Amino acid sequence: RRVEVAVRETQARKSALAATPVEVPAPKAAAVTGAAPLPTSTPEQAKSVAPDVTCESCAAGSYTAWLPRKISAYCKLSEVVDALELVQGTEVALPNAVGAMNRLKRLQRQAGGDRKLVARLNGLLAFFGDVVLAHVDTLSGKLLSLTVNAIAESPSHRPLLRACAARVEVLAAQDDRGFDAQALSVTLNGFARARMRDERLFAALSAMACSRAASDPGQFNAQSVSVILNAFA
């Protein structure tokens, strides 16, 4: 009788376990805290790479590619290249493409004389650059500033840089509020580093800077002012 009771209890536990859904944790990137790859299927997840940014493609909410959720947690170029190559050639959301380019740019010096790593890095920058170029007419001020910062010193991205310059004039005409003091200073600094001294471009950026300074002078701290003045020097 005791055996029969034990058998029934065991079967009951097995049935309960079978009916309970099991959560499988996402794989974690090696030696990177909080860098587990997650599907960017919503605007909120897409913003994890470049937070607090908006664009028309974000509003659509149609993202299919997988990207590291916290790409800023990657401190080694080889690791971020390994992670981003998994989505190379797939459909990537615009904010993710911009964020990936900025992280690659920040870590690119680690490539040194490693020709293979440099080639992989350049391949990723070309891929993400093409993604941004295809949607350049939807770039917000924030995303545009990050894009220009990432490609300012890249000769292969001159077409994208010129497209960003044209987008600046459109946003200036619309008085895009996404161009705050920080975004303006980063954008001006990027175009100055790229040696793009287009008169219409700098006139549009100057008009926006003057407009922001008149309406909200408090957002211009010492750093943003010095960067803007240096760009016009």
- With the C-alpha atoms ordered 227, 228, 229, 230, is the resulting torsion angle positive or negative? positive
pLDDT at 101 over 90: yes
pLDDT at 85: 93
Instruction: Give mean pLDDT, residues 147-162.
Output: 94
Instruction: Give mean pLDDT, residues 84-111.
Output: 92
Top-confidence residue, 60 or 14: 14
Helical axes 94-107 vs 115-134, angle rounded to 10°: 150
Average pLDDT over the chain, rounded to whole? 77
pLDDT at 165: 95
pLDDT at 29: 39
34: confidence class by pLDDT, cuts 50, 70, 90: very low
19: confidence class by pLDDT, cuts 50, 70, 90: very low
Integer CA distances (angstroms), 141 to 3, 135, 144, 221, 226, in order: 73, 14, 5, 19, 20
Task: Encode pLDDT of 165-220 as tens digits.
Answer: 999 999 988 877 778 999 999 999 999 999 998 899 999 999 999 988 998 889 99
110: confidence class by pLDDT, cuts 50, 70, 90: very high
**DSSP category for residue 90:** S
pLDDT at 21 over 70: no
Query: How many CA atoms does the CB half-sphere of 37 hold within 13 Å?
Result: 15
* 37 three-state secondary structure: strand
pLDDT at 15: 56
Distance CA(100)–CA(97), nearest Å, equals: 5
pLDDT at 67: 61
pLDDT at 75 over 70: yes
Percent of the chain with pLDDT over 70: 70
Displacement of CA 178 from its chain's centroid (Å): 16
